[in-house]
Structure 1
């Protein structure tokens, strides 16, 4: 209820007005059978008119009962006017409730998107994007539908039940008791149904999320699927999960069908009881014919919201499941500043002192890492896969916080610097860069939206991709496709480098971001970087020795520890990982030269 109230904040007035509108519409709908009763009993028949004084004055002004008897069309027009007036209030009910529910859905989507953007990196590493998409779309839509339709229907049901019982009791108490005899049974059936459908829908909703995840992963990795001829395998996997979703959805439909069949039978029995006892009492003279018509009409009105309770509870069950899945995201703690959140002027002098880090308890990835980097220096980090190279960069960006030790930038403890601030001062190019399905120009400008064309061209030239771009039919206005699928791996990396270089970052990080370019292009880019980065601290993570050999300092990692620090000439003369990599790569290059000589 607390979450529901939070969602309705800002839309409560609209809901109050909507419920008032449905209340008036319901009251008018209750008057319509009374017009029929008066017409049958007091205008066509001779029963006395028990009407408010203002209505009796109106009838006298028309000419009394005899005049109405001669002009029955006046009664018909009264019904038409009441129906039209009811329709107007129903229109306002629909408009107001729809406006309120759309506002709630919009606010929920914005809140979800904003919250997801501010969740820690660790959360996104473990989360399934397909499931998150399903929660932000399908689950939000389920909540919206409930607020749009069933929220107001609850008010309508309350008004109908209250007014029906009140009016029927005022006409005949015995008939009212008969009209209510099966209502407790329907309530019990609705409660059982609610518990059943909620659990069933929760399973179906989870399976839909799993199905969405498979679809999203398959579409994202379609090139891998095609390359390895895994179409049949992926189809079978999808069909298997789709069959599970079908079975769960069918189970939901089964529960719904059982409830509707049961409630229809009970309602039919209830209407039959009212009709049988009503005819009996009418023949005896205990009630009038008009009263029988009114009870029969009100019974239909009374049973509809009670029967509708099942649909309300069904949608409420779905909504509570969807709301729970939404709030599970919103309850996740956003990334917090656990230090002083300083915003110092970043120049680029960095020091690591006995830094240790672990993703999981008692499984250290980095162990007592210590080194210093001067402002404007180029530092290379090499090591075997899993040695902790990327983890070290993650700490620098504060994607994770170090377990122990100290990282200082310009003498300030990194944990005391604002996360967003330090990330805005570090330009990073990843091995697998993400490009948006926009033009090349827009992708390069994304880190500096106000960049001029000459800045874009200069950045692209530094990344050795300007000539490639101009060779495209539409040049810089070429659409790169989703995730840059229309570009080669090397082209994507170079566009990502240009995107980083267009901004003036005091610290640059290249996380194996030259792996997909050839040796000649690699050399050109490194030359351009050396020209630019005289005052920029640069980290280069690479496996290719030719990429890192000109660095001011090379840090060699081995199983999370610093094995060696030095220049290229020093390291190739010492036994260790670096020398072994150099010997292997140098030997390969010599063999290739001899092969093609």
Structure 2
């Protein structure tokens, strides 16, 4: 059943649930401030007409009070008008304050909800999805794009309500005062809205290009900082500077073009609104001099006209900003609409200390070019399988399929553990029971203790040290100034390659899983250390099913069974002695390595030329 896609409106509605009451309060306070603002021109109108024109007003009953009633007429009118203006301004200020407080609370809760959901959703997206999306771009979608959406909801969307109410109130008062001048004022509104809609489409297109360019720029920075040691080692600083400058220049040009477009938009808008103001002033002056309207009414009308112009201009600005928000919402929606990993209905939690079987497994990252061809074998529970093969022969892919980092296609065969298809096993249960040490281990920017205890956060210091000793890294850690409290740099940069691999092995050992996978995880250590680690692991993992992937014969020669892959197919399979006697690929690799630095280790392991 296809997953329901989130729309733009659905995105806003979904994350407004926990903060909607704050935005409702903001709308109420905004409307109150707008209504209070509409009263000020009326106070000015009455004050001018009663003071300069001597006309009676609806304020006369208030003027007969015990305090103001004793003052001279002009001063009395001025004092009352000033007092009312101060009172209304104070109430408007209070409304604005409460409006801003409500916006701040609502927008931050709204943004927090989006970020939490995005981060949680990204954690559940398939491994294949992460392999096809750049880290910098993902980060930008979770930061810059979320901020644009927050600005849209907290500022632009509420501004639509505010400007619409202000526009409605201003038009109602203006038409009630003078229909002919109001018609002149409103004649320009369709023109303003029309050109705003035209620019809306142009700005949206330009902003999308600029936003994508920013994602590419972020990816370049993230990649450069992550690989800073490689950049320095190969003297690639100038190349990286040129690469960054190229992306940065393109990014800047796109924003300059967007700035040009917005400048045209605001310039044309200012010209149209200036013409509208001039037309209203001319028409109002003519009617005021002819006596059709009073001076107070003329001043009030000019004030309402200025109030009318700003909402219309603001609405156009909001439309241009909404084009950016629409692009950012689509970029956020893209992530949320990607299908996360999920368990099948009725997913099981079977015992995992059972036989592992691959049955006619065929798989390729590109469905047109399979990497594995009809792979079938069984690993008896509690035994060790060694896998040997050239780069690209499919060794790591087998492990990725076992851990369901990639799913087999419907016609790609089956992988079972104790007879249960791994597709029917809960993902969390499957991965909790498969301990993996990858060829390029990733360490977090935390202490050595925290990295080793990552799979068992409640582990005691003794348990952590025991795992480190098994991985033959305890003595190295003990020599650090802060020992196990040494802070590991980003991606483990403060440790050597061999130390990182051994810390990763210790971390996996803490998991105490019934299935252990070491994917060429001893490649960065010397042959002597390799032998020590293997001996310690054999003693520790004697009850686990172990899969060893390596290019070294020394790492695999004591495995219960060794499988040699060639071109995505099983070329040979058997024990070390059986494969030597076959004289095939394994024997060729054995002879080649025996002449190299591993010769001593082979003989120490009890296997030499005399074993031929």
Normalising by the smaller structure, the TM-score range is over 0.9
Distance 2:164 2:73 in 1: 35
1:26: how far off? 0.6
1:434: how far off? 0.4
For residues 232-266 of structure 1, the C-alpha deviation after alignment (integer angstroms, 9 at most, x for no partner) is 11111111111110011111111111111111111
Aligned partner of 1:217 among 214, 219, 223: 223
1:348: how far off? 3.6
Change (3 A) 1:590 1:13: closer
Q: Indicate the residue corresponding to 1:557 in structure 2.
A: 565
Q: Which segments of structure 1 move beyond 4 Å, counting only runs of 4 or more?
A: 62-68, 590-593
1:176: how far off? 0.7
1:522: how far off? 0.5
Report the 3-state secondary structure (helix = DSSP H, G, I; strand = E; otherwise coil) of the residue aligned with 1:139: helix
Unaligned residue ranges in structure 1 (runs of 5+):
none
Q: Indicate the residue corresponding to 2:466 in structure 1.
A: 458
1:67: how far off? 5.6
For residues 151-196 of structure 1, the C-alpha deviation after alignment (integer angstroms, 9 at most, x for no partner) is 2211110111101110011111111112212111111111111111
1:75: how far off? 1.2
Change (3 A) 1:65 1:388: farther
For residues 328-351 of structure 1, the C-alpha deviation after alignment (integer angstroms, 9 at most, x for no partner) is 111101112236410112114211
Matched, 1:22 2:30: yes
Aligned partner of 1:547 among 552, 555, 567: 555
1:36: how far off? 0.5
For residues 265-302 of structure 1, the C-alpha deviation after alignment (integer angstroms, 9 at most, x for no partner) is 11111111111111111111111000110011111111
Distance 2:60 2:33 in 1: 23
Q: Indicate the residue corresponding to 1:433 in structure 2.
A: 441
Is residue 198–residue 321 contact of structure 1 (8 Å, CA) maintained in 2? yes
Aligned partner of 1:501 among 494, 509, 512: 509
Is residue 49–residue 294 contact of structure 2 (8 Å, CA) maintained in 1? yes
Distance 1:396 1:312 in 2: 52
Distance 1:469 1:304 in 2: 67
1:80: how far off? 1.1
Distance 1:480 1:106 in 2: 29
Is residue 506–residue 535 contact of structure 1 (8 Å, CA) maintained in 2? yes
Q: Indicate the residue corresponding to 1:190 in structure 2.
A: 196
Q: Indicate the residue corresponding to 1:265 in structure 2.
A: 271
Quick check: 147-156 or 460-469, which moved more?
Answer: 147-156
Is residue 527–residue 598 contact of structure 2 (8 Å, CA) maintained in 1? no
Q: Indicate the residue corresponding to 2:525 in structure 1.
A: 517
Matched, 1:130 2:136: yes
Report the 3-state secondary structure (helix = DSSP H, G, I; strand = E; otherwise coil) of the residue aligned with 1:557: strand
Distance 1:329 1:293 in 2: 54
For residues 33-72 of structure 1, the C-alpha deviation after alignment (integer angstroms, 9 at most, x for no partner) is 10000001124423342x4xxx664344466698653322
1:77: how far off? 1.6
Q: Indicate the residue corresponding to 1:361 in structure 2.
A: 367
TM-score of the pair, normalised by structure 2: 0.94
Is residue 556–residue 562 contact of structure 2 (8 Å, CA) maintained in 1? yes
Distance 1:311 1:587 in 2: 75
Is residue 439–residue 480 contact of structure 1 (8 Å, CA) maintained in 2? yes
Pairing 1:529-548 to 2, within 5 Å after superposition = 529-548=537-556
Q: Indicate the residue corresponding to 2:390 in structure 1.
A: 384
Change (3 A) 1:67 1:7: farther
Q: Indicate the residue corresponding to 1:165 in structure 2.
A: 171
For residues 527-569 of structure 1, the C-alpha deviation after alignment (integer angstroms, 9 at most, x for no partner) is 0111011110000000011111111110111111111111111
Is residue 59–residue 65 contact of structure 1 (8 Å, CA) maintained in 2? no
1:591: how far off? 8.6
Q: Indicate the residue corresponding to 1:405 in structure 2.
A: 413
Quick check: 74-83 or 322-331, which moved more?
Answer: 74-83
Q: Indicate the residue corresponding to 1:96 in structure 2.
A: 102
1:106: how far off? 0.6
Matched, 1:58 2:58: no
Aligned partner of 1:152 among 155, 158, 163: 158
For residues 173-220 of structure 1, the C-alpha deviation after alignment (integer angstroms, 9 at most, x for no partner) is 111112212111111111111111111111100000010011111111
Change (3 A) 1:68 1:113: farther
Pairing 1:294-443 to 2, within 5 Å after superposition = 294-338=300-344, 340-403=346-409, 404-443=412-451
Is residue 63–residue 80 contact of structure 2 (8 Å, CA) maintained in 1? no
Is residue 29–residue 98 contact of structure 2 (8 Å, CA) maintained in 1? yes
Q: Indicate the residue corresponding to 2:5 in structure 1.
A: none
Distance 1:277 1:407 in 2: 85
Is residue 472–residue 478 contact of structure 1 (8 Å, CA) maintained in 2? yes
1:592: how far off? 9.3
Aligned partner of 1:174 among 156, 174, 180: 180
Q: Indicate the residue corresponding to 2:454 in structure 1.
A: 446
1:380: how far off? 0.5
Report the 3-state secondary structure (helix = DSSP H, G, I; strand = E; otherwise coil) of the residue aligned with 1:550: coil
Distance 1:518 1:343 in 2: 39
1:585: how far off? 0.7
Aligned length: 589
Matched, 1:84 2:87: no
Q: Indicate the residue corresponding to 1:278 in structure 2.
A: 284
Unaligned residue ranges in structure 2 (runs of 5+):
1-8, 602-612
For residues 376-434 of structure 1, the C-alpha deviation after alignment (integer angstroms, 9 at most, x for no partner) is 11111111111110010011101112233222212222221111111000000001000
Q: Indicate the residue corresponding to 2:594 in structure 1.
A: 586
1:92: how far off? 0.9
Is residue 348–residue 507 contact of structure 1 (8 Å, CA) maintained in 2? no
Distance 1:323 1:65 in 2: 63
Distance 1:252 1:7 in 2: 30
Distance 1:283 1:355 in 2: 94
Distance 2:511 2:340 in 1: 28
